[in-house]
A = this chain, B = another copy of it.
Amino acid sequence: MLVYIAGSGAMGCRFGYQISKTNHQVILLDNWEDHIKAIQENGLKITGDVEETVKLPIMKPTEATTEADLIILFTKAMQLPQMLQDIKGIIGKETKVLCLLNGLGHADVIRQYIPEQKILMGVTIWTAGLKGPGHAHLEGEGGLHLQSMDPSNKDAGYQVAEMLTEAKLAATYDENVLPNIWRKACVNGTMNSTCALLDCTIGQVFASEYGLALVKEIIHEFVRVGIAEGVDLNEEEIVKYVMEISKKASHHYPSMHQDLVQNHRLTEIDYLNGAVAKKAEKFGFETPYCQMITQMIHAKESILGIK
């Protein structure tokens, strides 16, 4: 397969690196000039569980010309529409597009650019960090679930899962991936927004009885909206899952903290709590915790002059 990684940040580099270890061909796509230059000149530096530097092709999305077998979408949520626009030239008759972005609502965006039978929706619990241009830091284990949006196109999904498993990415074809996507969104929707606003680690939020109360209200709203959308979610099970993740990640600052507090970048709040609040509105009920936390994050972005 010829695989493109559309959005080669930390996670894109992990996937690109691991796929490059198989017999499949991989090309990184990104728009960050320094990152492209570093990888073109010195290769992609990997530290963490393994330490090595690999030669990998990287270019801007608009520069790619060879038709893809698979494109893995790994952009920030707000960069997704532009990326979908930019990769039009490499989408052919047999190309599949796998979305592994965090958050909710991406399928609706992708469908505006790409026919449903090409789309695979997925969710991954792999993690990765970017230490600087051309340098990814990879630690720990993970896995991923994916599903073809068009049920008649299951075979393509199984093939992609097989290829990713060859790359030691532990992919599973999932007949019902949506609950997994929502479960992960609950993790991000509780930890990201609270840690960014309270300027603290995941463990600090979860150690406070008030922090826990916030987390539970947010999960309750996510689950209510998910169920209204027809997704099979069990609130109790998700609370347990989020609590477990919080223990493993207790010393971490989630990505929204990195974006808002550390780097003064726009956050993905509209694709987490904001998406839930918007969906709830459509169903005619309110999710005040999600709505308020979205307003607070946006207020903070505006106070910091982030545009």
Shortest Cβ gap from A236 to chain B (Å)? 21
Which B residues touch A207, using CB under 8 A?
302
Number of interface residues of A (CB under 8 A): 26
Partner of A299, one of B198, B289, B292, B303: B198
Identify A302's interface contact among B208, B288, B296, B298, CB under 8 A: B208
A217 to B288, CA, bound (A): 10
A80–B214 Cα gap in the complex (Å)?
A: 29
The answer to whether B295 touches A210 (Cβ under 8 A) is yes
Residues on B with C-beta less than 8 A from A295 are: 210-211, 213-214
Which residues of chain B are within 8 angstroms of A289 by Cβ–Cβ distance?
Answer: 288, 292
Q: For residue A197, which residues in chain B have a CB less than 8 angstroms away from its CB?
A: 197-198, 296
A40 at the interface (CB under 8 A from B): no
**A208: chain B residues within 8 A (beta carbon):** 298-299, 302-303
CB atoms of A300 and B213 under 8 A apart: no
Nearest CB in chain B: distance from A220 CB, A: 11
Contact B299 A210 (CB under 8 A): yes
Minimal Cβ-Cβ distance residue in B for A205? B299
Q: Which residues of B contact A288 (CB under 8 A)?
A: 217, 288-289, 292
Q: Does A114 contact B (CB under 8 A)?
A: no
Inter-chain contact A300/B198, CB cutoff 8 Å = yes
* Residue A200 is within 8 A (CB to CB) of chain B in the complex: yes
Q: Scoring A residues 284 to 307 as 1 if CB is less than 8 Å from chain B, else 0, what string do you get?
A: 000011001111101110110000
* B-facing residues in A204-224 (Cβ within 8 Å): 204-205, 207-211, 213-214, 217
What residues on B are CB-neighbors of A302 within 8 Å? Answer: 207-211
Looking at the assembled complex, report how far the CB atom of A203 sits from the nearest CB atom of chain B, in whole angstroms: 10
Q: How far is the CA of A166 from the CA of B302 in the complex (A)?
A: 46
Is A292 within 8 A of B214, CB to CB?
Answer: yes
Of the candidates B210, B213, B293, B303, which one forms a contact with A204 in the assembled complex, judged by CB atoms under 8 Å apart? B303
Bound CA–CA A209/B301 (angstroms): 11
| 16 A/B residue pairs, CB under 8 Å, sorted by A | A194-B296, A197-B197, A197-B296, A198-B296, A205-B299, A209-B302, A210-B294, A210-B295, A210-B296, A210-B299, A213-B295, A214-B292, A214-B295, A217-B292, A288-B292, A292-B293
17 further A-B pairs in the complex, CB-CB below 8 A; given A194-B299, A211-B299, A214-B299: A197-B197, A197-B198, A197-B296, A198-B299, A204-B303, A205-B299, A208-B298, A208-B299, A208-B302, A210-B294, A210-B299, A210-B302, A211-B303, A217-B288, A217-B292, A288-B289, A292-B292
**Which A-B residue pairs are the 5 nearest by beta carbons?**
A288-B288, A208-B302, A210-B298, A210-B299, A211-B299
